[in-house]
Amino acid sequence: MDKFKTVLNIANKQGRFGPGLVALVTAGGEQIFSSVAFRCPCNELNFFYGMVFLLVPALALLLLGFILSKRTWKLVTGLWHRGGKLCRWKTLMSACMALFHITATALVAPSSWVAVALLNGNYYECAMTGANLSAYNLHVCQGKLPEEQCKQELFMLPCEKSAQQSGKEEVLRTMRAHSQILGWLLIAVIMLSNLLLICMARCMSPMSYQQQRFWKAYAEEENDLMDSYTTKHAKEFAERNLESFFKQTPPEDIVTPSNKDWERISTLYKFSTRDHYYSTLHQHVETKDQEADFGVRMTSVHST
């Protein structure tokens, strides 16, 4: 998981080439996995065995994409206590948009796995030779194998690729061709959907192209510095407490953000040209003094 997280972090820093890097790593992993671990049983388990190898790793990659996404945990952490706020229309729409973006990013690896596995054809061959689909079986065997032989021996074909029977080899080639057609169609659908989503997002964006590049660069730098500052501050805070405990001395004063401050900078942020803030941290830093002055004025009004 740590290695996959490292790949995701590198991919996120590669901008528009990030999804391509994740897809490339996933494709390489599928090739290795297929050659090392996959062995079609050539019995009644063919269909389930092939479908498990085709879909279960994709599901695992999808869940891993959700788990390793910081946006996922920003969205769900404290959700129980923020349930009332989610009832607001704007907040609910922002949450749905964030979930859609997280899902779209997490789908890169599993869709790459399925596409490459279909192009390879091994999983599809194994699954469909064990599928109880009479019409499909007769279709692939038509003109190549007798009907009775097709019904009784089809599940054995993946284990007989070296056999000198041209009919069996033709059946497997037909299945492999079907698998590769599905693989290329899936790739085409993914690329077309990705293009349409990017075009829609860019057309509806309130920012210009250069400002959007600046916002993305700022967000990456802020994220890296946040990790560095958090680790450094946590270390200083821990050292202060341990020194006070072992030396039995009063602790030094170290300013730590309040729970409210942490909550405000931990929410997902949607850029608005009206406020012109680039993150929740930026918004908090710019408005904190204004809120403090407003609180002082309200206190003075009530006291008078």
pLDDT at residue number 228:
93
Span 203-246, pLDDT tens digits: 888 888 898 889 889 989 998 999 999 999 999 999 999 999 99
Kindly report the pTM of this predicted structure: 0.78
pLDDT at residue number 198:
87
d(CA 7, CA 10): 5
Measured CA to CA in angstroms, residue 255 lies from 37, 181, 228, 252 at distances of 54, 61, 17, 10
Angle (nearest 5°) at CA 169 between 168 and 170: 90
DSSP string computed for 107-158:
THHHHHHHHHHHHH-HHHHHHHHS---HHHHHHHHTTTS-HHHHHHHGGGGG
pLDDT at residue number 27:
79
pLDDT at residue number 222:
92
Which residue ranges in the chain fall short of pLDDT 50? 3-4, 10-11, 14-15, 293-304
pLDDT at residue number 295:
46
Contacts of 216 (CB under 8 A, 6+ apart): 15
